[in-house]
Structure 1
């Protein structure tokens, strides 16, 4: 692997308070639909994620085509930030930010609970 492919090591950020952390609303949801997103600059999917009755279904795009396909994503639980304002991504309006970590090549590996949990559960 070339040096250019390795993800940059992110420096440790300055300390935050518990109140800062608590303002970021990270919830678990289940991916219920996956569509291709051919208009995206980098290969991506459009996802619909069910966060349970309180939050409902939200949509997002995710550049996760390296490790996942539509079949492996549907039914998968993921963590996402649900209190960002909607963001226009090309012709698509993203409503949440699905979370992941970069692998050794910088490709996204999604965060999922190790066992099924109720949709809408808040990270703490």
Structure 2
């Protein structure tokens, strides 16, 4: 089973446990992209954007996870966690109110604002002290 580990606030942790929160959204940035996506260009898949060819249309492909392990609490000792099934994952390019792609700059390079949306399923395991 392929599991993604994420930290979340207690409020959201409790909402997932109660079945009220059914989606988890994360912003995709150059510093975390390899955890969430791969790049498709010219029929080939690339793990990091530095490997991409200069020319060609690029699509973002979400990395498939079977479940997400959500941790909450302080970053010390044993932290409460739940492991939740992932039903679906989808990547969206973010746009402004005019429908234009939002572009940010990081280390002198431009990148498109994007987020990943995980549709959550049932709680598979929980450890709460």
Q: Calculate the TM-score normalised by the size of structure 2.
A: 0.23
Q: Calculate the TM-score normalised by the size of structure 1.
A: 0.23
By percentage of residues, which structure has more strand?
Answer: 2
User: Which structure's CA Rg is the greater one?
Assistant: 2
